[in-house]
Amino acid sequence: MRGIDRLRLWVTPILLLVLLGLGVAYLFKAGILSGAWFASNKDILDAVNSLITSAVLLTAGILGYYKFFRGRTLTTRAAMELRVDVIDGGQSGHLHCLTVSAKNIGTVSILEPQLVVEVTARRQDAVNASETVSQWFESSDHDRGTRRRFGVIDSDETATFVAERFFRADVWAVTYSAVLSCTSGDSWSRRITVKNTADASVSTGD
């Protein structure tokens, strides 16, 4: 935390204490408060003191929860893995099988996950061609019921996205840049480059 942030954190409590002290001093000066008044209203003061103490403890507990626990327990987290398997297609080119796995390693469900992969084919004549993959084969182990696939990834579950692309023999390498996003605004990304050669296999987990 920067110095200016720490200063802002303490400004409000300090100002409240100063105002409270000034208010008490004014009441003593005006004769509204005195030793006799405190003695005659001891029970009321004890009750007020208990209420204030309880309110302070409750407020501190709520602030502590939001600062130290909520951000650590109620989080959206995902572990992504890209895998590309290249299948020999003869002299004409090769077939790339792209598999993207997204596992929810947080405690909050990932709602409406959207995966977009930018594919860049690097040709031998130095002219690159790019396309975006947003349509996927349905291959999820997290959803075998009646729910719509890819609608949600619950905690500790995995969604698997599969796509295929064919590249001609004049393409010597292909780069895959994947970005997974959801309704919470969180996003995760992975990037991998694979040679366009027969039986090549590359994974971000390797």
| Residue 37 and residue 108 in one domain | no
| Residue 88 and residue 113 in one domain | yes
- Which of 26, 53, 73 is at the close of a domain? 73
**45 pLDDT above the threshold of 70:** no
Q: Is 2 helix (H, G, I), strand (E, B) or coil?
A: coil
The secondary structure element, H or E, covering residue 6 is helix 3-29
The one-letter code for the residue type at 159 is: A
**Cβ atoms < 10 Å from Cβ of 169:** 14
Rounded mean pLDDT, 134-161: 69
**pTM metric for this prediction:** 0.61
Number of domains in the chain: 2
The one-letter code for the residue type at 198 is: A
pLDDT tens per residue, range 70-103 = 555 667 889 999 999 999 988 899 999 999 999 9
Would the CA dihedral through 16, 17, 19, 23 be positive or negative?
positive
Rounded mean pLDDT, 52-81: 73
CATH, residue 182: 2.60.40.1470
pLDDT tier at 144, thresholds 50, 70, 90: very low
| Residue 95 and residue 175 in one domain | yes
Rounded mean pLDDT, 187-206: 85
Its domain, for residue 11, covers 3-73
pLDDT at 205: 59
User: Are 99 and 71 spatial neighbours (Cβ–Cβ below 8 Å)?
Assistant: no
pLDDT tier at 126, thresholds 50, 70, 90: confident
| Residue 35 and residue 93 in one domain | no
| Residue 32 and residue 95 in one domain | no
Q: Let me know if residue 205 belongs to a domain.
A: no
| Residue 194 and residue 128 in one domain | yes
